[in-house]
Structure 1
Amino acid sequence: MAFISKISKFALFALLVTGLISCSDDDEAGDVIVPSNTIADFVAANDNYSSLAAALEVAGLTSTLDGSANYTVFAPNNAAFNTFLSDNGFASLDEVPEDLLREVLLNHVQAGVIMSSNLATGYISSMATGMASEEPLSMYINTEDGVMINGMAEVTNADIDVDNGVIHAVDAVIGLPDVVDFATADPTFDILVQALTREDEFTFVETLQMTDSPAPFTVFAPTNDAFVALLDELEVAGLGDIQTETLSAVLTYHVVTEVNVRSADLSDDMMVETLNGDSFTVNLGDTVTITDANDRTATVVAADVQANNGVIHVLDTVILPGMEE
């Protein structure tokens, strides 16, 4: 019996060795497929993301998201794509221009792994580029109540781990943002938006959403605190106490048309002509400051918020044009 037991053990050992050698041969021959779970694999395997999978294929991005480089993807579901197509007048995905589709998709992608715990309220860069600049488009992340992107897409399922990065499911397609999108998404500009929309005859919002002339725009956007300080300076109780003509002149003084001027394009003592025909002076030093027509000074506290149709620089003070007596 001991002899039979030894033979049985030897036979089992031989079988195991043969199996391992066979598996090794299959690997070398390419017959064994090692399962993977890349971003592209996850999207392709989930019926709820079939529109995203089709879009990635049309735009030539499937192989990018199937590679070894790490990415963070905000993934819109089929319902989000249907809404995007309908809102933009497309009957199907085939009607979306390929170059536009590619940039919209890249506007959902960041290089590297960004977990939800690493997201904070503020601006990050996507991998998309817009019409106004070759620099990456900005994305405004608001984490005050969940995660909202550009005021238009909410993260519904975060931190889906895959082999080459992380996926955050979102409930809307994140379109290419214009300067108005950032102004309305970022609560820092609540009073600015109130000013832009105070009068029914104001067309500032419609103008700043344009992608053709007079776009691109360079907007010097005052914060809420800047407007509060202006009301105190003017000794008025609120925006409603500022004359319409004065408010219009002030707002157009903060906009430059036909050019996307980023911080790297600024120079010391640079004279900048604005939409209302008046000008101000840029001063470079430890900080970037602006001297207005009344020798008042504003500091750029954040720069290069890049939109599809222009760029925003944030000011801590409302600048004032020269006013006629």
Structure 2
Amino acid sequence: MHLYHSLCLALAGIVSSQSTQSLTDALNGQNSSLSTLNSLLQSTGLGPALNNLRNVTLLAPNNDALSALLNNTDAAATLSDTGALTALLNYHVINGTFYADSFGNSSVFAATHLTNESYANVTGGQRVEARASDGSVVFFSAYKENATVVTPNVNFTGGTIHIIDSVLTIPMNVTDTLSKSNLTAAAGAIRTANLEKVLGDLRDVTIFAPNNDAFNAIGNLAANMSTDDLAKILGYHVINGTVAYSTDLRNQTVTSSSGQELRITVEDGAVFVNAARVTIPDLLVSNGVVHVINQVLNPANSTETPDATATSAPPAFSGASSGTAGVPFTSGISTPTTTVPAATSGGGAATSSTSNPGMPMKTGAVGAAALFGGAALFANL
């Protein structure tokens, strides 16, 4: 379908704000900072389509942000693809009108107009994280890349515009995200267990991904682990059928994709899965969300209780210790060349850049699949 008509259908809404200016007029009024965006819209014929937006929040990258993207050779080539450009633009349109004062210190995971399953397998549209930080509103996308609002609340008949200083990065598939986030052992374990396609085919998942230290702590056992045993252990780290962001995690028991129960505990502001602490929440992926934890979970040992005072979690496997061959499962997995939050001790703003910033990548598979024969939802989520 032609890009104009495709975006028209994708961005149509039903509610208007009290402003009387069209989106085109609002964008033109900010031409000193949005001239690159305006030129892009004019060259693609998207202006009239965008004027049909209703009850939305448009995140508009400024000149510096878009120029950096367009000067990237790989990104420029991808932008010539109508589907990729549409996906990227749709990810910058949030359902609902969110003014700057709508955001506080707690994260909001707002649904966007990116619903094309070739790029996002999340029911209701791929999300973007937003919260107030140091007097500004910051949006977080893939790899915790951040975009700060530099000019808020440019209102138009269909909602409001926030001018941002970076192009959002569309969440990628699980293994690519783990690899680029320095969760190389988790990425390697998925590959070793031949689960890359299975995880990529799922729709709406929550994954608890152990960090490299956690895998290293069971290195002696990992060295002799069968593919089937590894697959069962990895399945215990996946909730299939629900995307549970950090704001959804609370005291409850849920069923993993391998069929065993996981206990979610919130204690003194920290979130635990069995005895494992969530160290970095909310790494957005194409089909859900990943939370980084500091222990490899054991499906045969689900009764461990968390210790909120501890800085690390002991192995959940008896007889486990560090191996002699380095961090397991990392052979053949590229170490990221930039620092992203999952490679550090905490979340928050990212300082990294990717080789293809802001650009969408097809998921490679559309639709859902059963994982390890099990599926479960968070109760009453």
1:55 pairs with 2:40: yes
Structure with the higher helix share, 1 or 2: 1
Residues 99 and 160 in structure 2, CA contact (< 8 A), matched pair in contact too:
yes
Tell me how far apart the structure 2 counterparts of residues 48 and 181 of structure 1 sit (CA, whole Å).
Answer: 36
Deviation at 1:101?
Answer: 0.8
Residues 154 and 160 in structure 2, CA contact (< 8 A), matched pair in contact too:
yes
SS in structure 2 of the partner of residue 37 of structure 1: coil
2:132 maps to which of 131, 134, 143: 143
Tell me how far apart the structure 2 counterparts of residues 91 and 40 of structure 1 sit (CA, whole Å).
Answer: 24
Tell me how far apart the structure 1 counterparts of residues 149 and 55 of structure 2 sit (CA, whole Å).
Answer: 20
1:165 pairs with 2:130: no
Tell me how far apart the structure 2 counterparts of residues 36 and 182 of structure 1 sit (CA, whole Å).
Answer: 44
| Counterpart in the other structure of 1:320 | 298
Give a deviation string over 1:42-95, Cα, whole Å, max 9, x none.
Answer: 2234143233223334555422432472321111012211222344614478x5
Deviation at 1:216?
Answer: 3.7
Tell me how far apart the structure 1 counterparts of residues 297 and 52 of structure 2 sit (CA, whole Å).
Answer: 49
Q: What percentage of residue pairs aligned between the two structures are identical?
A: 18
Structure possessing the higher radius of gyration over alpha carbons: 1
2:168 maps to which of 167, 174, 193: 174
SS in structure 1 of the partner of residue 154 of structure 2: strand
Residues 147 and 155 in structure 1, CA contact (< 8 A), matched pair in contact too:
yes
Structure 2 letter corresponding to 1:50:
S
Give a deviation string over 1:5-39, Cα, whole Å, max 9, x none.
Answer: xxxxxxxxxxxxxxxxxxxxxxxxxxxxxx96322
Instruction: Show structure 1 runs of 5+ residues with no match.
Output: 1-34, 185-192, 228-237, 265-285
Structure 1 letter corresponding to 2:65:
A
Residues 92 and 168 in structure 2, CA contact (< 8 A), matched pair in contact too:
yes
| Counterpart in the other structure of 1:263 | 242
| Counterpart in the other structure of 1:41 | 25
1:311 pairs with 2:288: yes
Deviation at 1:109?
Answer: 1.1
TM-score (norm 1): 0.55
Taking the TM superposition and a 5 Å limit, the aligned residue runs for 1:1-325 are 37-45=21-29, 46-57=31-42, 61-67=46-52, 69-87=54-72, 89-91=74-76, 95-120=79-104, 121-129=107-115, 130-131=117-118, 132-133=120-121, 135=123, 136-145=125-134, 146-149=136-139, 150=141, 151-152=144-145, 153-178=147-172, 196-197=183-184, 203=188, 215-216=200-201, 219-222=205-208, 239=214, 242-244=217-219, 249=230, 252-253=234-235, 261-263=240-242, 289-290=254-255, 297-299=262-264, 309-312=286-289, 319-321=297-299
Residues 205 and 241 in structure 2, CA contact (< 8 A), matched pair in contact too:
no
SS in structure 1 of the partner of residue 74 of structure 2: coil
Deviation at 1:169?
Answer: 0.8
Tell me how far apart the structure 2 counterparts of residues 75 and 139 of structure 1 sit (CA, whole Å).
Answer: 14
Residues 290 and 299 in structure 1, CA contact (< 8 A), matched pair in contact too:
no
Give a deviation string over 1:186-216, Cα, whole Å, max 9, x none.
Answer: xxxxxxx67x24x6x9647999xxx978624
Instruction: Show structure 2 runs of 5+ residues with no match.
Output: 1-18, 224-229, 244-250, 272-281, 301-316, 320-381
Residues 59 and 101 in structure 1, CA contact (< 8 A), matched pair in contact too:
no
Tell me how far apart the structure 2 counterparts of residues 68 and 312 of structure 1 sit (CA, whole Å).
Answer: 28
SS in structure 2 of the partner of residue 215 of structure 1: helix
SS in structure 1 of the partner of residue 155 of structure 2: strand
245-254 or 121-130: bigger deviation = 245-254
Deviation at 1:181?
Answer: 11
Give a deviation string over 1:113-153, Cα, whole Å, max 9, x none.
Answer: 21111024131111112524263001111323332212321
106-115 or 238-247: bigger deviation = 238-247
Instruction: Describe the shift of the 1:154–1:68 C-alpha distance in structure 2 as closer, same or farther (beyond 3 A).
Output: closer
Tell me how far apart the structure 2 counterparts of residues 171 and 206 of structure 1 sit (CA, whole Å).
Answer: 36
SS in structure 1 of the partner of residue 168 of structure 2: coil
Residues 59 and 92 in structure 2, CA contact (< 8 A), matched pair in contact too:
yes
Higher relative contact order (CA 8 A, sep 6+): 2
Instruction: Describe the shift of the 1:212–1:241 C-alpha distance in structure 2 as closer, same or farther (beyond 3 A).
Output: closer
Instruction: Describe the shift of the 1:160–1:115 C-alpha distance in structure 2 as closer, same or farther (beyond 3 A).
Output: same
- Note the aligned Cα RMSD (angstroms): 4.8
Instruction: Describe the shift of the 1:169–1:320 C-alpha distance in structure 2 as closer, same or farther (beyond 3 A).
Output: same
